[in-house]
């Protein structure tokens, strides 16, 4: 089923249009935590802690793909809204080609530096070998993972979000099957988990490169064409998607700081608990990210078409839907914290109890964090990367980073789990200020 960017979007159409992207992100989140489930239950706490220690730095590299994807899809969708399909295809081709080259360069650099990076992150002698081995294997597929991240946005701009959903499910099945085979059957431990993850990444990144190059299978209005690289356009794409990159890189930096704090307070167990929170949080956030991926090109299209009335409706209805979704997710966390913790650490009653308590405190933030994420994505869709970056930057690198160092001085370990709650409250105030400040400029 094709989903068009043009036309009026009521609540029902918004939900129906965003479901494929939400399912795609949910599938990504599920297969992203499969490694953690297998590693935690079959190889022990040290390997699990090592995986969670190195993963944020890997995501910092992968987030470059999200930057190119969100910034590029907003740029391409705006051009489509202006009615120039040929120019849109040239821009699309230029963005993907530039991203893949950047991915190769970043992969080589990270591959070389991963050992000192692991040490800097606080890896113990026992954890260091695990971090380096897992990271280097996964990095072999990083250019394809960056491509996969970028196409999460481009599938909706191509009006074919279901294609991304189906591909992501295939990637997830690949990862899960290989995890079971390599870890459980062959006993390869963390090495098997890394190979399974890299295989899933490769599938997700290689397919769209072939699909959008095909004149036989590709029936969308986006296709790869010959084009030269325009430095100004790439700069606009990167600056426009900068907020998503800052949001992800900030989350990775904050995650590193969480791990450093937790290593001081309760050691490896704290890192394992935080890893579980990240897995659950990723599943929850995938609902918001999927919604934003689907609605952002629609916002960009209407902005390009100067349809201000539809912009206002999209903003108002999106905020309502995301608040309702966030409330449901928060209630689920409070009610099901015990079973959620048990999925990962049922073998350790003490660790399970600590994890359940952390879930109840940490997940309160999801009642409002979807609103903050959308407002940042909203300005990206309006091709205002600077304002979007300010919203993303203050939420994580200012509010949350500050909270994770200050609140533990008052409440100890509980202060670590409550840091994100305070950060999202402060970020919501900032988001409201930004919306009011730019209302007259964009007429939403």
* Interval 110-141: pLDDT, tens: 999 999 999 887 788 888 999 999 999 999 99
* Averaged pLDDT for residues 188-192: 91
303: which 2 tokens? Answer: 């902005």
Judged by average pLDDT, the poorest of 44-53, 285-294, 418-427 is 44-53
70: which 2 tokens? Answer: 């969100």
Domain assignment of residue 381, yes or no: yes
* Interval 381-403: pLDDT, tens: 998 888 988 888 888 889 999 99
pLDDT at 444 over 90: no
Domain assignment of residue 192, yes or no: yes
pLDDT at 294 over 60: yes
Domain assignment of residue 1, yes or no: no
Total domains in the fold of the chain: 1
This prediction has a pTM of 0.73
Judged by average pLDDT, the poorest of 16-20, 152-156, 223-227, 240-244 is 240-244
Dihedral of alpha carbons 39, 44, 48, 50, sign: negative
Domain assignment of residue 2, yes or no: no
Highest mean pLDDT among 146-160, 220-234, 361-375: 361-375
Q: What pLDDT band is residue 218 in, cutting at 50, 70 and 90?
A: confident
Q: Which residues are within 8 A (CB) of 350 and not within 5 positions of it... i.e. 6 or more apart? A: none
420: which 2 tokens? Answer: 């994100």
Domain assignment of residue 332, yes or no: yes
Distances (CA, A) of 131 to 44, 110, 201, 362: 14, 13, 19, 26
pLDDT of 7 reads 81
* Averaged pLDDT for residues 296-308: 90
pLDDT at 274 over 80: yes
Q: Over the chain, what is the mean pLDDT?
A: 89
- % of the chain surpassing 70 pLDDT: 99
pLDDT at 239 over 90: no
Which of the two residues, 219 and 112, has the higher pLDDT score? 112
pLDDT of 416 reads 95
Residue numbers of the domain that contains 90: 12-442
pLDDT at 1 over 60: no
Q: What pLDDT band is residue 347 in, cutting at 50, 70 and 90?
A: confident
pLDDT of 59 reads 80
* Interval 361-381: pLDDT, tens: 999 999 999 999 999 999 989
Domain assignment of residue 382, yes or no: yes
Q: What pLDDT band is residue 53 in, cutting at 50, 70 and 90?
A: confident
Q: What pLDDT band is residue 288 in, cutting at 50, 70 and 90?
A: very high
């Amino acid at each position: 089923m094709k989903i068009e960017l043009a036309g009026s979007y009521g609540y029902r159409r918004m939900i129906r249009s965003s479901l494929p992207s939400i399912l795609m992100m949910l599938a990504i989140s599920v297969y992203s935590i499969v490694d953690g489930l297998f590693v935690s239950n079959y190889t022990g706490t040290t390997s699990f802690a090592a995986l969670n220690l190195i993963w944020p730095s890997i995501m910092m590299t992968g987030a470059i793909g999200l930057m190119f994807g969100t910034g590029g899809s907003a740029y391409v969708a705006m051009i489509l809204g202006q009615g120039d399909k040929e120019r849109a295809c040239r821009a699309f081709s230029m963005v993907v080609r530039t991203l893949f080259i950047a991915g190769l360069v970043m992969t080589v650099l990270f591959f070389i530096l991963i050992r000192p990076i692991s040490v800097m992150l606080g890896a113990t002698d026992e954890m260091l070998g695990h971090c380096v081995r897992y990271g280097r294997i996964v990095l072999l597929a990083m250019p394809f993972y960056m491509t996969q991240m970028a196409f999460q946005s481009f599938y909706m701009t191509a009006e074919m979000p279901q294609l991304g959903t189906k591909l992501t499910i295939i990637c997830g099945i690949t990862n899960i099957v290989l995890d079971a085979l390599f870890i459980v059957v062959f006993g390869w431990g963390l090495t098997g988990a890394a190979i399974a993850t890299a295989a899933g990444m490769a599938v997700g990144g290689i397919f769209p490169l072939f699909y959008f190059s095909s004149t036989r299978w590709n029936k969308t209005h986006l296709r790869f064409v010959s084009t030269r690289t325009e430095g100004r356009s790439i700069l606009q794409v990167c600056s426009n998607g900068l907020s998503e990159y800052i949001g992800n890189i900030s989350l990775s930096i904050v995650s590193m700081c969480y791990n450093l704090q937790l290593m001081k307070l309760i050691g490896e167990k704290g890192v394992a608990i935080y890893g579980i929170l990240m897995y659950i949080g990723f599943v929850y956030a995938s609902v918001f990210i999927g919604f934003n991926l689907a609605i952002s090109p629609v916002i960009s299209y209407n902005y390009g078409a100067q349809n201000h009335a539809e912009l206002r409706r999209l903003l108002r209805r999106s905020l309502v839907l995301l608040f309702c979704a966030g409330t449901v997710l928060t209630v689920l966390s409070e009610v099901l914290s015990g079973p959620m913790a048990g999925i990962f650490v049922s073998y350790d009653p003490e660790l399970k109890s600590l994890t359940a308590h952390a879930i109840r405190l940490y997940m309160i933030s999801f009642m409002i964090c979807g609103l903050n994420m959308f407002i940042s994505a909203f300005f990206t869709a309006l091709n205002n990367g600077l304002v979007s970056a300010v919203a993303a930057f203050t939420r994580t690198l200012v509010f949350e980073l500050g909270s994770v160092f200050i609140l533990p001085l008052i409440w100890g370990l509980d202060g670590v789990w409550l840091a994100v709650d305070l950060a999202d409250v402060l970020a919501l105030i900032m988001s409201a200020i930004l919306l009011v400040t730019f209302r007259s400029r964009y007429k939403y």
